[in-house]
Amino acid sequence: MSRVLSLSRSSWTGTDAEAARSATASLERGAVLFFPHLPFVVNQDEDEIFSPAILSSSKNTSFDPATGRVGGTTLEGPSLDRLRTLLTRFSDAAQGLVREVLPGYGPHMQRARASFRPAQIAGRHSSWRKDDSRLHVDAFPASPVQGRRILRVFANVNPAGAPRAWRVGGEFLDVARRFEPSLKLPFPGSALVLAALRVTKSRRTPYDALMLQLHDRMKEDAAFQASTEQESFDFPSGSTWMTFTDQVGHAAMAGQYQLEQTFLLPVKAMKDETASPLRVLERLKGRPLV
């Protein structure tokens, strides 16, 4: 059975309480909620932003909805304002959508960064650790989540109609079990050192340390990449999807022009915490991790 659950919603606003209950339960069990009829509409005057030439050194432009700051781009003046306007509109739409689709999370859902990804994925060269065409779960080296869930909303806005081609992995529990023996608890005190050196913006908990290792172990293991349970899925241009990317293995194989908004959710706000990476790793390690 596919992990990608197709939903009929065609509007960014509007509540359906019945659909919301089952959507939340499916999402927490590791589904990708896929909205094939929910396009994010780009305006005509935003055309000039649709080029990889707007990127500075990084592979994405980033947006902080709290401050309005846009990073990762060479754009200036009115062009930069246009990119900021696009990202603001998407960020607000994504926030509205998760409130409607996942109403039980309510005010616990924290809005983090958004990004616009204008680079072609296929054939892009990077180190194995940064190579998102390898199956992985998300973990942030500089911004510890301290046990919170990572929920991401994606919209494929490719103007030429090209899909975003993903591979989607299997059960988090199976992946965690496979790599658990090689996931080492950090030395006591190491979190303080990393924070003091400003490697991390806040304390890297044992949970964050284990998730970073899991991200790396998955990406560097060629046998795992080739043989683990997985499915290929093409998200069409004009579609939207969301998933817990800390739980659901994913790899982006091809595609260009995508919007993404990240949300952080305390596990306490979930309907059922037991399938969360935090609780799974705590069971496997036999100790609290935050």
List residues binding ligand SIN (CB under 6 A): 117, 132, 164, 245, 250, 252, 258
53 HSE (CA, 13 A, CB side): 7
How many residues are there in the chain?
290
For 41, counting Cβ atoms within 10 Å of its Cβ (0-12 exposed, 13-18 middle, 19+ buried), the class is: exposed
Which C-beta is closer to ligand SIN: that of 191 or that of 214? Answer: 214
- Which amino acid makes up residue 230? Q
Helices (H), 34-130: 77-101
Which C-beta is closer to ligand SIN: that of 148 or that of 164? Answer: 164
Which C-beta is closer to ligand SIN: that of 104 or that of 236? Answer: 236
At a CB cut-off of 8 Å and minimum separation 6, what does 107 contact? none
Which C-beta is closer to ligand SIN: that of 16 or that of 64? Answer: 64
Q: From the CB of 252, what's the least distance to Fe ion, in Å?
A: 7
252 binds, among ligand SIN, Fe ion, none (CB under 5 to 8 A by kind): ligand SIN
Residue 164 CA to residue 23 CA, distance in Å, equals 22
Please give the helix or strand (H or E) that residue 207 lies within, else none.
Answer: helix 206-220
Q: From the CB of 8, what's the least distance to Fe ion, in Å?
A: 27
Grouping H, G, I as helix, E, B as strand and the rest as coil, residue 233 is strand
Show the CA angle centred on residue 152, arms to residues 106 and 123, nearest 5°.
175
Q: Dig out the tokens for 275 from the structure.
A: 């399938």
Which C-beta is closer to ligand SIN: that of 149 or that of 164? Answer: 164
Which C-beta is closer to ligand SIN: that of 194 or that of 215? Answer: 215
Grouping H, G, I as helix, E, B as strand and the rest as coil, residue 137 is coil
Is residue 109 within 8 Å of residue 263, measured between CB atoms?
Answer: yes
Pick the piece of the chain touching Fe ion (CB under 5 A) from 28-36, 89-97, 133-141, 157-165. 133-141
Which C-beta is closer to Fe ion: that of 100 or that of 138? Answer: 138
Residue 153 CA to residue 166 CA, distance in Å, equals 14
Q: From the CB of 251, what's the least distance to Fe ion, in Å?
A: 8
Q: From the CB of 100, what's the least distance to Fe ion, in Å?
A: 24
Q: From the CB of 35, what's the least distance to ligand SIN, in Å?
A: 15
133 binds, among ligand SIN, Fe ion, none (CB under 5 to 8 A by kind): none
Residue 133 CA to residue 267 CA, distance in Å, equals 28
Binding flag, residue 138, Fe ion (CB under 5 A):
yes
134 binds, among Fe ion, ligand SIN, none (CB under 5 to 8 A by kind): none
9 binds, among Fe ion, ligand SIN, none (CB under 5 to 8 A by kind): none
Q: From the CB of 94, what's the least distance to Fe ion, in Å?
A: 16
Q: From the CB of 156, what's the least distance to ligand SIN, in Å?
A: 8
Q: Which residues bind Fe ion (CB under 5 A)?
A: 138
